[in-house]
Amino acid sequence: MTEAITGLVLAGGLGRRMGGVDKGLQAFRDEPMVAHVIRRLAPQVDALIINANQNIERYAAFGHPVAPDAIAGFAGPLAGLHAGLSACTTPLLVTSPCDSPFLPLDLVARLHAALAREGADLAVAITGDQPHPVFSLVRAQVLPGLTEFLEGGGRKVDLWYSALKVVEVPFDDNPDAFANINTLNELATLAARPDAS
Ligand SMILES: Nc1nc2c(ncn2[C@@H]2O[C@H](COP(=O)(O)OP(=O)(O)OP(=O)(O)O)[C@@H](O)[C@H]2O)c(=O)[nH]1
Ligand SMILES: [Mg+2]
């Protein structure tokens, strides 16, 4: 039997570049951005969790458990991963940010194949030489190490990776899938992009 995988939608940030809005709930082509992410990620996983720190009830209305950060102070995406792993009951967890509405439909299959092949702790998507650490598949057993790292004041993903066996998984055939929306301008431009599906 293959190992079960939980999907974690990272929606716990402050959205400062968008003017301090809750990015996941911003409308993109008539739907909140997070709805696009859920629609593309849910079929790839066995369970879903949403990490959010504001508007918890609005996120809960999507029908999945909502896990707020346990590490205080908006400590970044790793705090979201920590919250997700703490709530996760499967041996594997895969993350996607709430603001990438075109995430690959084969994201999980490709990350999982590489993780299994390499016996890695974490598989991360890359395009060109750019890693996308918010698109990662991790073994749930990394949680104690991550907790220790965060409690010791660690915040940088690269530094945390140095303690893990990491495999990078190229998606150079589909780089547009990782388009990430940080500003209202990007929200409008990408919504109107004719090639984006
Ligand atoms: N749980 C949690 N998630 C975060 C935090 N900061 C960022 N994220 C998430 O990490 C992903 C990438 O972050 P950014 O694109 O920088 O989003 P952001 O921090 O909300 O936006 P900016 O304030 O403009 O940087 C997004 O999915 C965010 O929701 C945080 O402090 N806690
Ligand atoms: Mg940020």
Which value does ipTM take for this structure?
A: 0.97
Does 195 fall in a domain? Answer: no
CATH number at residue 135: 3.90.550.10
Cα–ligand 2 centroid distance for 117 (angstroms):
32
What is the pTM for the complete model shown? 0.97
Crossing angle (nearest 10°) for helices 77-87 and 143-151? 140
Distance set, CA 60 to CA 35, 36, 78, 180 (Å) = 12, 15, 21, 23
> Which pair of tokens denotes residue 158?
């690269």
Does 148 fall in a domain? Answer: yes
Atom of ligand 1 nearest to the CA of 98: 27
Percent share of the chain, pLDDT over 90: 95
Q: What is the pLDDT of residues 116-173, one digit of tens each?
A: 999 999 999 999 999 999 999 999 999 999 999 999 999 999 999 999 999 999 999 9
* pLDDT above 60 (res 196): no
Atom of ligand 1 nearest to the CA of 9: 27
Does 52 fall in a domain? Answer: yes
Does 197 fall in a domain? Answer: no
The residue range of the domain holding 81 is 5-190
Domain tally, the chain:
1
Task: In whole angstroms, give the CA distance from residue 40 to residue 101.
Answer: 8
